[in-house]
Amino acid sequence: MIRSPSRTEQPERLQFERLFGPVSGKRVAVLGIGGGGDAVSTVPLVLELERLGAVAIPGGLTWKRREHDPERRPRAVHEFRNLRQLAPSVGIGRREMVTVDGVRHVEAHIAQALGDREVLVIDPSQGSAAVLRDLKTASKELGIDLIIGVDVGGDVLCMGHETSLESPLCDQTLLHALAGLNSPLVLASLGTDGEIQPDDFIARFSQLCASSAFLGALDPADDDLDPWEAVLRGANTESSRFAVVVRRGLHPARLAELRARLASEPVSAAQEILARASTLPLRGGGRTGHLSELTAFFLVFDSRAVWESGGFSKFWRPDATIREMHQELVERGIKTEFGES
């Protein structure tokens, strides 16, 4: 069992509460929003929340890539054993949670690595309005005060025209729901999924900074790197792993310098950092990602501002199912998760 160790760095504590508000005594859900292994990057935030006196519940989506689940579609909540249904598209379970055909999702590994705690799972198949409605229902039943959404890689910021974009359905479905909840959006492990390229990120980041939608940056505590890696050992996901590698390689003085730059001049800091990014072959060379010092940071945004300024909000249909939105995107020339290998 992994326990949250003590952390006394007051500036980082104050920054966390500045971004998310006072959390002591509150119940907070931290959800990976992109499907696949995004839930793994909720771990450092969960541990930090608990140090600050919150009860933190990690979670993620029921849609996994082929190597994690041969179905390659969102699993319905009723397709899991050892899971309590909170709403039509939301359930809660522990490490024993498994699909009816024996597939163990990454959320069960997280539950086990963090001491057999409860984890949430969300089925996005009925669309963003259904997810929003069901997250409200689940929050009421569990007494959740705050939901934080975590996207790994940064493709949640994509506008739709990016040629490297391949999996927008989960991100945009959950982003719309987060916006409806006024929940913060956290971008983790920038560049490691190969879907948003540095120039596209800088263009979007500049826009969001200009509208005050970028709220600030956090980096994982040293104490949390071992627990994060313990989860990664049971969850085969490459993108979150790169964040740990980069974070371990940063000297404390450099971390402090980066924190200050991202607070005072975030766009120029991001431009300089990404100018030195290294390319990263992914999925057997089928994609190219980018590693940079920004990969080690959590970048926090106002989800409503991200949604309303995004390209997908112009045509998104909240009441449409995810399959219906897949067809809409394909007709617009945008690839989706249904076409991923």
Residue 216: what pLDDT? 97
Length of the chain: 341
pLDDT of amino acid 341: 44
- The pTM for the full model equals 0.94
- Please state the rounded mean pLDDT for residues 80-101: 96
Q: Give the C-alpha separation, 160 to 81, whole Å.
A: 36
Tokens of 300: 């926090």
Residue 216 lies in a domain: yes
What is the per-residue pLDDT for 204? 98
Q: Based on the structure, what is the number of domains in the chain?
A: 1
In a domain, 1, yes or no: no
Pairing between strand 298-302 and 214-218? Answer: antiparallel
- pLDDT tens-digit readout, 120-140: 999 999 999 999 999 999 999
Q: Does residue 3 carry a pLDDT above 70?
A: no
Residue 289 lies in a domain: yes
The three-state (H, E, C) secondary structure of 226-265, written as one string: HHHHHHHHHCCCHHHHHHHHHHHCCCHHHHHHHHHHHHHC
Is 85 part of any domain?
Answer: yes
Q: Is residue 80 part of a domain?
A: yes
Q: Which of 34, 62, 59, 25 is nearest to 45 (CA)?
A: 59
The DSSP H or E segment spanning 279 is strand 278-282
Q: Indicate whether 21 pLDDT > 80.
A: yes
Q: With 80 as the cut, is the pLDDT of residue 67 above it? A: no
User: Would you state the pLDDT for residue 5?
Assistant: 44
Query: Distance between CA 274 and CA 292 in Å, rounded?
Result: 6
Q: Name every residue whose Cβ is closer than 8 Å to that of residue 195 and which is 6 or more positions away in sequence.
A: 153, 154, 155, 158, 162, 164, 165, 166, 167, 287
Higher pLDDT, 36 or 268: 268
Residue 285: the pLDDT is 65
User: What's the rounded mean pLDDT across residues 98-113?
Assistant: 92
Which residue, among 166, 218, 200, has the nearest Cα to 310 in the 3D structure? 200
Place of tokens 């590698």: 245
Q: What is the domain range of residue 262?
A: 10-339
Tokens for 60, please give them. 């993620």
What mean pLDDT value characterizes the chain?
92
Residue 3 in domain: no
The answer to the question of residue 2 being in a domain is no
What does the pLDDT read at residue 284? 66
Quote the Cα angle for 76-81-86, to 5°: 60
Which pLDDT value is given to residue 334? Answer: 96
Establish if 25 belongs to a structural domain.
yes
